[in-house]
Structure 1
Amino acid sequence: MFRLWSNSHQDRPENDTLHRESKVKELKVAIGPLSGRSLQFCTDACFMRYLEARNWNVDKATKMLEESLKWRSTYGPEEIRWREVAVEGETGKLFRATFHDRQGRSVLILKPGLQNTAAIDNQMRHLVYLIENAILNLPEGQEQMAWLIDFTGWSLSNSVPVKSARETIHILQNHYPERLGIAFLYNPPRIFEAFWKVVKYFLDAKTFEKVKFVYPKNKDSVELMRSYFDEENLPTEFGGKATFNYDHEEFSKMMLQDDAKSATLWGFDDKLQLVSKGHFGAEVAPEPVCIAPSAS
């Protein structure tokens, strides 16, 4: 009996792989022929993310992916350039760190207490731009990113509207499935509980499980976060040892470099020329910079 169980158990990884490959083939057939950017977007890894998000149900994954392709064709996330959303980043309320977590995932740092604009549409474009940027900077073989959310200065008076939070969750869950690996909410004030009670209902079960609350005086939650991040890279505002001050000008230079990478990737070299010539604002020369400690 033990031998039978053992053999069966050992076969599972191979069977799982074959099962997933079969599902990917089914999804490809269901989606049908693709061209242009849609073809470039729909890699095997992409198909697997959408299937995973819908528990490998091909019909549900097909519907989800079709809606994302329609959204991408109209919203144009890969066409957004830093010049168009730079005003949103002036306070450092949302930016990509230059270190990765222990699993090699890109890290987005969010500081909702530094909200500086009121236009929700542009806030969402800024968010989408940085999600795309985080994906652009993933190492080979890594599909996910991590979020670090610092609640310093946060209050109900300066918090993002529920509408913005709902739209953020909608975009992340429906158009970037399985891209979020973990999200740490660091030291949220007690009053945040009221806001969270509303927002959490927009989260699906998988996303909800990825959201972790960290309190500096709670040893278990601190240890959990440190299991994902090297203390030497983690900024002091998250309990780490790295001293870091957001510099908007330096970050903008880095984003212009990444705009060049993105333009090449998606075939928008002609649009990049408009950006580099300052058609979206004063020219900033893209020079190599480091805005936070590199991962060791």
Structure 2
Amino acid sequence: MMFLRRKQTQHHPEDDVFQREIKVKELRDELGPLSGRRLKYCTDPCLRRYLIARNWNVEKALKMLEDTLEWRSTFKPEEIRWHEVAHEGETGKVSRADFFDRQGRTVLIMRPGKQNTTSAEGNIRHLVYLIENSILNLPEGQEQMSWLIDFTGWTLKTQVPVKTARDIVHILQNHYPERLAGAFLYNPPRIFEAFWKAVRYFLDPKTFEKVKFVYPKNKDSVELMSTFFDVENLPAEFGGKATLTYNHKEFSKMMEGDDVKTAEFWSSDDKPCLVPNTNI
């Protein structure tokens, strides 16, 4: 007896792309009519990020996106201006680097050892401001950013409270999904392990995988950094050859200039409008 062999269907990557674009359309249809800031925020790349964060489940992505839109309507991150949070940045505890990583992504530099305030709200608003600023400065077509975290001077006295860290993680994971390319924790002290154990449970698996511990005397760590960053641009604090000195006055000028761009971008909040290319 002869058996007919079932013809195998060949899988084409473009089929996946097509199906995912259908998901984007479904999500947009579920959102319904949008205008003003909500329309500016909900670009196709934005919808894709929320779908990716929820494994392309339209219903879950919709819930996540609606929660973000509600959060943005109350927290109003696009309305924060540098003069409101500048005091939080006087020591340079968080700043945007003047270089990009190898993929052209914006780089945020964090120095938790330079913590200078105890205000949970102030710390969060300052960080959110710089995240929004980093997104504003992403090159066209780029959706993610890299974080470099320098532990020089870090102690249990300078760490933010676990509750504040939890609130920050919640905002990052739920309202800025798929924005993080990688977070590089450079040479953390052993005492940091206790704080990390408390924080890691707030991280979802995708975010957890993007957190990399880097040690200057570890060959794999050195190779990892050179994969993501050009050592000629990378500051010496992170094993590179560049010199980085935070100048609050100069950084403030740059942020004040960007505030003008931010205001212009979000100015038409009361009119339906389409933005051809935006990373927000």
Q: Could you say whether these structures have the same fold, taking a TM-score greater than 0.5 normalized by the shorter chain as the test?
A: yes
Paired amino acid for 2:217: K
Counterparts of 1:60 and 1:90, CA distance in 2: 40
Q: Deviations over 1:43-98 (max 9, x none)?
A: 00000000000000111000000000000011111110000000000000000001
In the other structure, the counterpart of 2:181 is 181
Question: Which secondary structure does the structure 2 equivalent of 1:213 belong to?
Answer: strand
Counterparts of 1:61 and 1:165, CA distance in 2: 24
Question: Which secondary structure does the structure 1 equivalent of 2:172 belong to?
Answer: helix
Q: Deviations over 1:116-139 (max 9, x none)?
A: 001100110000000000000000
Counterparts of 1:268 and 1:51, CA distance in 2: 27
Matches within 5 A, 1:1-296: 8-9=10-11, 11=12, 13-267=13-267
Counterparts of 1:243 and 1:120, CA distance in 2: 31
List 4+ stretches of structure 1 deviating above 3 A. Answer: none
Q: Which has the higher contact order (CA 8 A, sep 6+)?
A: 2
Question: Which secondary structure does the structure 2 equivalent of 1:256 belong to?
Answer: helix
Counterparts of 1:34 and 1:71, CA distance in 2: 16
Counterparts of 1:75 and 1:35, CA distance in 2: 19
Provide structure 1 residue ranges, at least 5 long, that are not aligned to the other structure.
270-296
- RMSD of the TM alignment (CA)? 1.3
Provide structure 2 residue ranges, at least 5 long, that are not aligned to the other structure.
1-6, 270-280
Paired amino acid for 2:220: D
Counterparts of 2:201 and 2:10, CA distance in 1: 40
Q: Give the superposition deviation at 1:268.
A: 7.2
Which has the larger displacement, 153-162 or 206-215?
153-162
Scaled by the length of structure 1, the TM-score of the pair is: 0.87
8 Å Cα contact 2:37-2:268 kept in structure 1: no
Identity of aligned residues (%): 71
Counterparts of 1:78 and 1:20, CA distance in 2: 29
Paired amino acid for 2:134: A
Counterparts of 2:134 and 2:104, CA distance in 1: 12
Scaled by the length of structure 2, the TM-score of the pair is: 0.92
Paired amino acid for 1:204: D
Counterparts of 1:32 and 1:245, CA distance in 2: 48
Counterparts of 2:246 and 2:268, CA distance in 1: 29
